[in-house]
Amino acid sequence: MRETLRGLLDLTRPVNAVAAGALTLIGAFIAGVEAGGVSEYPLEAAAATLATVFAVGAGNAINDYFDRDIDAINAPERAIPRGAVSARGALWFSVALFVAAIALALTLPLLAIAIATFNLVALVVYTEWFKGLPGVGNLVVAYLGGSTFLFGGAAVHSGQAGLTTVGVLAALAALSTFTREVVKDVEDLAGDREEGLNTLPIAIGERSALVVGTVALVVAVLASPVPYVRETFGLGYLLVVVPADLVMLGAAAESYSDPTAAQEHLKYGMFLAAAAFVVGRVAPLGL
């Protein structure tokens, strides 16, 4: 029983699921200043955060269900290949998490429900149809990563100004997520090829795929000062986002020699960039 429970938890990738929930909460915080924010709508912010955690956990679980043969090669330590959870058990567990996410999302404003509905469909469609298409699966995951911020903003009844600010963050997050997904595809090349998938590195070559990912990241880095230039945020934002940019650029360079380490370092840079937006919202414009 203990091993089964541990296996179910492993299916959700709890660190990633909780991190996605935190990004939703950051989106609610950033967008919510004009609308009273998290303090004015604590239940909505909490529901959106938990819905994100459950939805990401469900998406990870159903992804492991469909990828169980690939994982037997790329990640034999995961719950299904190691025998902690059956394939059928993983499928039903993901359904239960999806139901919980939907129930929470239905308590939110209409725009948040629309985002949640689209994202849940995208999660399932990605796993079954888009994951193995060159670049398409990467784009879907990139959108889903960036949309966590939009979902949080929509949950707190934010006006256009607040959602515009979060939209910038969502776009930057999507670009950097795209880069990380390409690097992960390079890391998983052997198993993906064995399974007959046609990911970007398989279709155009590892180095060319990494170049595409690097270009996307460079666009994000070049765009990252925009909130400062437009005087949306002050110097505090810039002092945090610049180190985040450097971490991610360093990771992109590292991906050509060590994609496993690079994708982890990209994750650290992405979280630091999200923190920059929090600092920018908290700190006065003059700082």
Q: Is 64 helix (H, G, I), strand (E, B) or coil?
A: helix
Cβ contacts of 45-48, under 8 Å, gap ≥ 24: 45/152, 45/155, 45/156, 47/104, 47/105, 47/107, 47/108, 47/155, 48/24, 48/104, 48/105, 48/108, 48/112, 48/151, 48/152, 48/155, 48/156
pLDDT band at residue 158, thresholds of 50, 70 and 90? Answer: low
State how far the Cα of 280 lies from the Cα of 264, in Å rounded to an integer.
Answer: 25
Mean pLDDT of 186-208: 86
Do residues 171 and 180 lie in contact, with contact meaning Cβ atoms separated by under 8 Å?
A: no
User: Does the pLDDT at position 212 exceed 80?
Assistant: yes
When the pLDDT of each residue in the chain is averaged and rounded to a whole number, the result is: 88
pLDDT tens-place string over residues 81-102: 998 999 999 999 999 999 999 9
- Position 163 scores a pLDDT of 73
Q: What are the chain's domains? A: 2-282 (1.10.357.140)
Mean pLDDT of 128-145: 84
Q: Which residue has the higher pLDDT, 197 or 156?
A: 156
- Position 31 scores a pLDDT of 78
- Position 206 scores a pLDDT of 94
Mean pLDDT of 144-149: 92
- Position 284 scores a pLDDT of 57
pLDDT tens-place string over residues 37-69: 566 788 999 999 999 999 999 989 998 998 888
- Position 160 scores a pLDDT of 60
Q: Which of 70-79, 147-156, 160-169, 276-285 shows the highest mean pLDDT?
A: 147-156
Share of the chain above pLDDT 90, in %: 59
Mean pLDDT of 169-194: 89
User: Does the pLDDT at position 175 exceed 70?
Assistant: yes
State how far the Cα of 3 lies from the Cα of 277, in Å rounded to an integer.
Answer: 40
230: tokens are 């437009």
User: Does the pLDDT at position 35 exceed 60?
Assistant: no
- Position 250 scores a pLDDT of 97
CB crowding 205-218: b at 16 or more within 10 Å, else e? ebeebbebbbebbb
Phi and psi at 225, nearest 5°, equal -75, -5
Q: Which residue has the higher pLDDT, 185 or 282?
A: 185
Phi and psi at 36, nearest 5°, equal 95, -20
Q: How wide is the angle at C-alpha 281 spanned by C-alphas 264 and 54, nearest 5°?
A: 50
C-alpha of 272 from chain center: 14
- Position 72 scores a pLDDT of 83
pLDDT tens-place string over residues 240-274: 999 999 999 999 999 999 999 999 999 999 989 98
- Position 287 scores a pLDDT of 57
Mean pLDDT of 117-143: 83
pLDDT band at residue 168, thresholds of 50, 70 and 90? Answer: confident
